Amino acid sequence: MEDPLPSEGTPVGLANRLGNPRRERSRITFGKRRLVKVLTVPEVAEYLHVSRVTIYRMLKQKSLPAFHVASQWRVRVDDLERWMRRREPGGYHRP
């Protein structure tokens, strides 16, 4: 059954692909190994509510934690969440 309520601030489509972060860590278990969830540039842009161009600009400036797979950028969910917490003094701001 699909989770009817994605986490706050997460686009519904992305929340469905990532799972509900309130219930699940950003790592999944595969046998005895833990796999880290990673996002593509379009997914990061959707998650942060900015354009792909903005994400590419941030990657070029090395202000966003990321790595290459072949010629494509990937961002670990753990790294993105840590980066967001560091950018907000006192944690996340809610309206």
Residue 3: pLDDT band (50, 70, 90) is very low
In a 13 Å sphere around the CA of 84, the CA atoms on its Cβ side amount to 12
Q: Please give the backbone phi and psi of residue 39, each rounded to the nearest 5 degrees, phi first.
A: -120, 150
- pLDDT exceeds cutoff 70 at 77: yes
pLDDT tens per residue, range 25-71: 455 555 666 677 999 999 999 999 999 999 999 999 999 999 999 99
What 3 state SS string does 38-75 have? EECHHHHHHHHCCCHHHHHHHHHCCCCCCEEECCEEEE
Other Cβ atoms closer than 10 A to 1: 3
Q: What's the CA gap between 53 and 86, in Å, rounded?
A: 22
Domains and their CATH numbers in the chain = 12-87 (1.10.10)
